[in-house]
Amino acid sequence: MRVLVVEDVRRLADDIAEGLRDQGMAVDVAYDGLTGAEKAALTDYDVVVLDRDLPGLHGDVLCGQITAAEEPAMVIMLTAAVSPGERVSGLTLGADDYLPKPFHFPELILRVRSLARRRPSAKPRILRAAGVELNPALRTAVRGGRPLRLSPKEFEVLAALLAAAPLPLSAEQLLERVWDENADPFTKTVPVTVARLRRKLGPPDVIVTVAGAGYRIGAVPVEGPSRPS
């Protein structure tokens, strides 16, 4: 899941981003409305956590730009305003949810995940392929009925591969979908995470390395006995 946090209070923005990353989400941060608009135009985010009172470009204007996109991200607005009228006005701008400050962080996590599932372009709730089943809502994954104990990043890599199946995803695509804009493109993080995921999935291997293309979910072809020439 890819999330953009647009919040001008840097400490709060960084705390939100760190907390969401701890849940396995790929999170980018913008500290003003103009930067937020640039990032929202360049990246396909699932959810935007948007402060309403932003410098450079007001959150109301940015919300309108995001929701007018061809495949808009879901928007949850944050604001210190607490009156019902102000909340209603925020929702009428096109925001999908509204959370007044201060907020309870576990609630923000639940709302972000709920919005991602509601996004029109979101994949089916249950992802299945090659005997592996993953439920993004319950954060559960099983193989052949055996529960898998995955780290947040392992879970998101598996979710990305299952969602793309039977097509492969490159290491760069996995970095973009599971990590964030600060990820080093030359890092070994992706192959290391895939290797750990393979061990936890167990044999036979269902993550296939596709030369020059990356990784995909699929049955490993079994070679028959060689024929005499």
pLDDT at 12: 95
Q: Indicate the pTM of the whole model.
A: 0.68
User: 2-118 in CATH: which number?
Assistant: 3.40.50.2300
Q: Percent of the chain, pLDDT > 90?
A: 49
The pLDDT tens digits for 23-72 are: 889 899 999 999 999 999 988 899 999 998 899 999 989 998 998 887 88
How far apart CA 123 and CA 24 sit, in angstroms, is: 18
Is the Cβ–Cβ distance between 179 and 145 less than 8 Å? no
Q: Which residues pair with 99 in a beta bridge?
A: 78
CATH entry, 127-217, from 1.10.10.10, 2.60.40.1730, 3.10.129.10, 1.10.3720.10: 1.10.10.10
pLDDT by residue (tens digit) across 130-145?
Answer: 889 998 878 899 998 8
Q: Is 60 exceeded by the pLDDT of residue 223?
A: no
**E strand residue ranges, 65-223:** 74-79, 97-100, 127-129, 132-135, 140-143, 146-147, 207-210, 214-217
Q: Where are the domains of the chain?
A: 2-118, 127-217
The whole-number pLDDT of residue 161 equals 93
